[in-house]
């Protein structure tokens, strides 16, 4: 019976909970990481496309093409490593990348005793302009005023 409890406790993941104030203060740092994440993802895609084009050329590849292909694959791996590093740094903060290309991330918080997410958008005028409940569809965007009003009542 104790082994069952040990396995169950190993599977549990503690999610750090953010407040609106903490999320607002962390916005520049999260923006920096999301920008690095996006750049690394786009660079990896660019090198992978280059490698794919080089390998799909008709006929037998010459030495120059083979070297260029290997270099493109190496650069793609390096970019993927940078992506993984940035993703790990973001996750260590308790921030979850929703879409690296669009610059969207989620910061967990509690609203009305339910798990909710601040939606970070790298390209929005206000990166923390919306939120959603965990059970809401991914495209749901609720106004931040609902959270700010509730938080001011709690303080």
**DSSP for 39-89?**
HHHHHHHHHHHHHHHHHTSSS---HHHHHHHHHHHHHHHHHHHHHHHHHHH
- For residues 85-102, give the mean pLDDT: 95
At residue 90, the pLDDT reads 95
Query: Which residues make Cβ contacts (< 8 Å) with residue 21, sequence separation at least 6?
Result: 151
- Per DSSP, the three-state class of 18 is coil
Q: Which residue has the tokens 């749901």?
A: 140
Collapse the DSSP code of 105 into the 3-class scheme (helix H, G, I; strand E, B; otherwise coil) and give the result: strand
Q: How confident is the model at residue 153 (pLDDT cuts 50, 70, 90)?
A: very low
Taking the model in full, what pTM does it have?
0.82
Give the integer Cα–Cα distance in Å for 106 and 90: 10
Alpha carbons 91 and 67: distance in angstroms, whole number: 36
The pair of three-digit structure tokens given for residue 89, joined into one six-digit string: 């740094």
Position with higher pLDDT, 8 vs 67? 67
Q: What is the pLDDT of residues 99-129, one digit of tens each?
A: 999 999 999 999 989 999 999 999 999 999 8
The structure tokens 């793609």 sit at: 76
């Amino acid at each position: 019976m104790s082994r069952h409890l040990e396995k169950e406790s190993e599977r549990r993941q503690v999610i750090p909970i953010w407040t609106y104030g903490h999320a607002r203060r962390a916005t520049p740092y999260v923006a920096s990481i999301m920008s690095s994440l996006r750049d690394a993802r786009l660079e990896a895609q660019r090198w992978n496309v280059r490698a794919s084009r080089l390998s799909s050329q008709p006929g037998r590849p010459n030495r120059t093409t083979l070297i260029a292909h290997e270099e493109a694959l190496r650069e793609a791996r390096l970019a993927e490593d940078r992506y993984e590093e940035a993703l790990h740094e973001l996750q260590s903060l308790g921030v979850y990348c929703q879409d690296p290309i669009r610059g969207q991330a989620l910061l967990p918080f509690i609203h009305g005793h339910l798990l909710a997410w601040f939606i970070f958008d790298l390209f929005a005028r206000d990166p923390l302009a919306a939120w959603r409940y965990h059970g809401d569809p991914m495209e749901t965007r609720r106004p931040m005023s609902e959270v700010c009003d509730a938080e001011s009542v709690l303080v």
